[in-house]
């Protein structure tokens, strides 16, 4: 699976700087940056500040809040100096991305209050693409970034956005900078880093559309799997996630999660919801484990954690699970997680865990 990291940030910045360097003789302070309230110079300063902020969060392992500092240009910095600052702060971010372990997650304010190195790389690329567009528009320059970069960020931190035939136009629309036929204008937007639900020995890491695409194709989804690879049920669930994504109805918090062991960072199984809660507040959950990880209580631990997360949501009153009558191991997992059997037929058993509001 193609990872999102420093290489993509460097590619985005190199393309942006090459274009903006053709207009360093213009007045960036007087020119408004596209639809923003900032000038082109202020927008460039914001971009450099984003790079330093992201690098600082990762390098400082800031898990509870933003590191309290910012960057500003010195008085008298000319436009060439502005570009030098952008290149330098980009280098700081890319170096930090390359030295940050995969399992490190640090604070980012929205939407789920954390992101990993891939999330910060995707946010960095998005900032470059969006704000270079703004500056270029203000300076009267034509800007068209690589389509692959746009598709990469859409599939990682815009899982709620239905993909289109033109990734750049889709990204502009998703960030309130353009129009798409058949879609209402975007007036307020946020990217969505993947949700991670903690458990005692595991973390349940939300699967992005990018990871789901790789899993469906037979890849590892960006995870290092115990036992060589995921169970088929995880790949099937990834396929359902992709169908929802391509239809524009995917809600990542009600998607698929990979169970990752804290002790070694290896993935041991998949778990997730069959869709959003229904009108009665019931949500269905399913799971599987790789054979090499069975018999250690991971499925029970993960089921407890994800069910508790769901039941803490206002729209959820109960969590529902089914299993085959012959699958005694699965039945034991569900019972140990606190579920009660509510129905039985020849093909499956049904269990339910109700919340305090149910």
pLDDT digits (tens, 9 = 90+) for 262-299: 999 999 999 999 999 999 999 999 999 999 999 999 99
| pLDDT above 90: residue 151 | yes
| pLDDT above 60: residue 358 | no
Q: How confident is the model at residue 357 (pLDDT cuts 50, 70, 90)?
A: low
Q: How confident is the model at residue 3 (pLDDT cuts 50, 70, 90)?
A: confident
Q: Are 147 and 202 in contact (CB under 8 A)?
A: no
- Taking residues 161-187, report their average pLDDT: 95
Q: If you average pLDDT over every residue of the chain, what do you get? A: 95
Q: How confident is the model at residue 355 (pLDDT cuts 50, 70, 90)?
A: confident
| Secondary structure element (H or E) that encloses residue 267, with its range | strand 266-273
Q: Which domains does the chain have, with CATH numbers?
A: 6-174 (1.20.120.450), 196-354 (3.40.630.30)
pLDDT digits (tens, 9 = 90+) for 12-48: 999 999 999 999 999 999 999 999 999 999 999 999 9
Distance CA 296, CA 215 (A): 24
Least confident of 84-88, 108-112, 147-151, 320-324: 108-112
- Taking residues 347-354, report their average pLDDT: 94
Q: How confident is the model at residue 67 (pLDDT cuts 50, 70, 90)?
A: very high
Distance CA 146, CA 166 (A): 11
Burial of 82 (0-12, 13-18, 19+ CB in 10 A): buried
Beta-bridge mates of residue 72: none
Distance of CA 179 to the CA centre of its chain: 24
- pLDDT score of 2: 77
For the record, the structure tokens of 321 come out as 């699970």
- pLDDT score of 281: 96
Q: Are 160 and 123 in contact (CB under 8 A)?
A: no
- Taking residues 68-78, report their average pLDDT: 93
pLDDT > 90 in the chain, percent: 94
Treating both helix axes as pointing N-terminal to C-terminal, what angle do 209-216 and 232-247 enclose, rounded to 10 degrees? 130
């Amino acid at each position: 699976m193609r990872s999102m990291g420093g290489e993509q940030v460097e590619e985005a910045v190199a393309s942006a700087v090459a274009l903006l360097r053709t207009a360093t003789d213009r007045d960036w302070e007087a020119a408004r940056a596209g639809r923003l309230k900032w000038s082109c110079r202020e927008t460039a300063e914001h971009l450099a500040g984003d790079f330093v902020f992201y690098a600082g969060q990762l390098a400082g392992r800031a898990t509870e809040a933003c590191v309290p500092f910012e960057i500003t240009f010195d008085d008298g910095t000319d436009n060439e100096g502005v570009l030098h600052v952008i290149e330098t702060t980009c280098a700081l971010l890319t170096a930090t991305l390359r030295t940050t372990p995969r399992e490190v997650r640090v604070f980012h304010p929205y939407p789920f209050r954390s992101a990993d190195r891939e999330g910060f790389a995707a946010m960095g690329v998005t900032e470059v693409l969006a704000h270079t567009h703004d500056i270029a528009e203000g300076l009267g320059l034509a800007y068209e970034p690589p389509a692959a970069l746009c598709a990469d960020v859409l599939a990682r931190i815009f899982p709620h956005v239905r993909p289109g035939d033109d990734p750049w136009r889709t990204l502009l629309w998703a960030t309130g900078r353009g129009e798409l036929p058949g879609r209402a204008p975007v007036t307020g937007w946020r990217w969505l880093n993947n949700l991670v639900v903690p458990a005692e020995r595991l973390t349940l890491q939300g699967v992005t559309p990018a990871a789901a695409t790789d899993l469906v194709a037979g890849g590892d989804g960006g995870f290092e799997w115990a036992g060589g690879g995921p169970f088929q049920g995880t790949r099937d669930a990834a396929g359902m996630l992709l169908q929802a994504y391509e239809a524009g109805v995917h809600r990542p918090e009600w998607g698929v999660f990979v169970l990752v062991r804290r002790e070694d960072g290896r993935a041991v199984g998949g778990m997730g919801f069959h869709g959003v809660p229904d009108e009665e507040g019931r949500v269905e959950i399913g799971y599987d484990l790789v054979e090499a990880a069975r018999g250690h209580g991971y499925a029970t631990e993960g089921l407890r954690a994800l069910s508790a997360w769901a039941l803490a949501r206002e729209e959820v009153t109960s969590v529902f699970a089914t299993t085959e009558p012959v699958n005694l191991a699965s039945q034991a997992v569900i019972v140990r997680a606190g579920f009660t059997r509510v129905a039985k037929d020849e093909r499956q058993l049904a269990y339910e865990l109700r919340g305090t509001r149910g």
